[in-house]
Amino acid sequence: MLSVLSNRTYRHLFAAQVIALIGTGLLTVALGLLAFRIAGDRAGTVLGTALAIKMVAYVLVAPVAQAFTARLPRRAFLVATDLARAAIALALPFVDQTWQVYVLIFILQSASAAFTPTFQATIPDILPDERDYTRALSLSRFAYDLENLLSPTLAALLLTVVPYNALFGGTVVGFLFSAALVVSVTLPIATRTDREGGIYDRTTRGLRIYLSTPRLRGLLALNLAVAAAGAMVIVNTVVIVQGLLDRPQTDVALALGMFGGGSMIAALTLPRVLDRLSDRAVMIPAAALLGGVLLSVAAMTCGGTIGWPLLLETWLVLGIAYSAVQTPTGRLLRRSATPGDRPAVFAAQFALSHAAWLITYPLAGWLGASLGMPATLTILGGLTLAGVAAAAWLWPASDPDVIEHSHADLDPGHAHMHGDLQHAHAFVIDDLHHRWPARVG
C-alpha cells in the first residue's frame, strides 16, 4: 500500500491531507470547548447546530463551487481554500456570540466543500494506474481513521500545557502546512472541454451524470446504508456504553476506537482483495453485513445478552464492513466520468453522501431518545438493509466498462462513429452519450 508514496506529487498531497486532517481534528475539540465557554449548559445545542450547518454547507456548496471553479488552476484553487480555512480558524477564538460561530463555521465548511472534491478528483490524474489508485484510496481511508484516533489524544496532551484557544492555532498551522505542500508540487492540468453552458448546466452536470449511471445510482443507495449504520455508531455508542452497560466514559472512546481500528484493518487489506474481486462483490456484501450486525445487536440488547466484550467485537466488525463499503467509492467515480467531468462527479458524491448523513444523524438521535436502543438499532438496521437491496437492484451484477451501443441521434459520418452504426468503447455519460444503454442479460 505504501508503494504509491514513491510518487513525489502524491506523497506531498497525501502529507497535506494528513496535516489538514489533524488540524481539523483539533478544531473539533476546540469548537466544543468554545461552545461551552459561550453557551454553558447549552453547548450541546450550539455544537449540534454547528455540525448541522457543516452538513448543509457540504450538500449545497460542493456542486455550486465546482461549477464556478472548474476552469481555475487546480493548485492555486486548493491553496486559496486552505488559506481561507486558516483565516477562519484564526478568527474563531475571538468570537463571543453563537451566531458568529455559525457564520464562521458555514464559511469554513464551504471552503472545505470546495476543496475536498477538487482534491479527490486530482488523485486519479496523478495515479492513472488502477492498482496504484486503489492503494491511494486505502491509504486515504487509513489516514481518516488514524486521525480519528490520534487527534483527540493530541488535543488532550496539548490541553495539559496550553489553553484550549491554542488548539485553533494548531488548526491554522495545519491548513498553512497543507497549502505549502500543495505549492511544492506541480499538479496535472485539469482536462477542459469546449462546453460552455449556463450556471445551471454546470452546477447540475455532476448530479445528472451520477443519476444516469447505474453503478452510481447503486452507490447512492449504499451511501444511505453506510450513513444509517455509521450514524448509529457515532451518535449512540455513548448511550449503549454508559446507559445500557453502565460503563465509564473512557470506555466510550475505547468502543469508538474499536470501530476505527476495524476500519483501518479493512483499509490495509482491501487493495489485495480488490485485485481479485469487483467493487460490487465487496461493497454490497459489506453493506449487508452492516445491517445484519445492527439487527443482531438489537436482538441481543432486547434480550439483555449484550455484554462489554461482545460489544467491542461487534464494533470492530462494523468498522471493517464500513471501510469495505467506503474505500472503493473513488474507483467507481473514476470509472464513471471523463477526466473533464470527474470534478463534477466527485462533487456530486460529496454532496449526496453528506445529504444521507444529514438525514441519519438526527434520525439516530431522535429515535434513540424517543424509542430506546433496541428499536433504534432495529430501524437503522432495517434502513441499512433497504439501502443494500436498492443498491443490488440499481447496480447490475454485470457491469463492464466497455459497452456496445449505437447512436440513433448521430449521423453515420460523425467523427465519433468512425463509419460504424454500432460500436463499443468504455462507456460514460457525456455530451455524446446521454442515456445508459439498455441492460443486457
**pLDDT block averages, 10 residues each, the chain of length 441:** 82 89 80 77 69 82 74 85 93 87 88 84 84 83 70 70 83 93 84 55 82 94 95 85 82 82 88 91 97 94 84 94 92 87 85 89 86 93 97 92 75 66 77 73 39
171, 261: one domain: no
Q: Tell how strand 402-406 and strand 422-426 pair up.
A: antiparallel
Phi, psi for 49 (deg, rounded to 5): -65, -40
Name the domain count of the chain.
Answer: 2
Domain boundary among 166, 188, 210: 188
Three state DSSP letters for 122-182: HHHHHCCCHHHHHHHHHHHHHHHHHHHHHHHHHHHHHHCCCCCHHHHHHHHHHHHHHHHHH
The torsion region of residue 419 among left (phi > 0), alpha (psi -120 to 50) and beta comes to left
- What is the predicted pLDDT for the residue at 118? 83
- What is the predicted pLDDT for the residue at 194? 47
284, 390: one domain: yes
340, 245: one domain: yes
- What is the predicted pLDDT for the residue at 228? 94
Burial class (CB in 10 A: 0-12, 13-18, 19+), 70: buried
List, in sequence order, every beta strand (DSSP E) within 338-438: 402-406, 422-426
144, 13: one domain: yes
Note whether residue 434 is domain-resident.
yes
Note whether residue 151 is domain-resident.
yes
User: Cell digits for 11?
Assistant: 506523497
- What is the predicted pLDDT for the residue at 440? 46
User: Cell digits for 4?
Assistant: 504509491
344, 322: one domain: yes
161, 217: one domain: no
210, 131: one domain: no
- What is the predicted pLDDT for the residue at 436? 83
99, 150: one domain: yes
- CATH number, position 13: 1.20.1250.20
Residue of 393, 377, 266 lying closest to 322 (CA atoms)? 266
376, 292: one domain: yes
Note whether residue 289 is domain-resident.
yes
- What is the predicted pLDDT for the residue at 298? 93
- What is the predicted pLDDT for the residue at 441? 39
Hey, CA dihedral for 179, 183, 187, 189, is it positive or negative? positive
SS3 of residue 389 by DSSP: helix
- What is the predicted pLDDT for the residue at 419? 60
- What is the predicted pLDDT for the residue at 375? 93
Note whether residue 405 is domain-resident.
no
Note whether residue 409 is domain-resident.
no
- What is the predicted pLDDT for the residue at 178? 93
Phi, psi for 321 (deg, rounded to 5): -65, -40
User: Cell digits for 408?
Assistant: 440513433
- What is the predicted pLDDT for the residue at 297? 93
- What is the predicted pLDDT for the residue at 44? 60
Which domain does 425 fall in, by range? 199-395+415-441
- What is the predicted pLDDT for the residue at 156? 67
Distances (CA, A) of 367 to 43, 255, 304, 378, 415: 21, 21, 19, 10, 57
Using alpha carbons only, give the angle 409, 399, 435 rounded to the nearest 5 degrees: 20
Domain boundary among 144, 166, 188: 188
Domain boundary among 151, 166, 188: 188
167, 255: one domain: no
Residue of 4, 94, 100 lying closest to 50 (CA atoms)? 100
154, 206: one domain: no
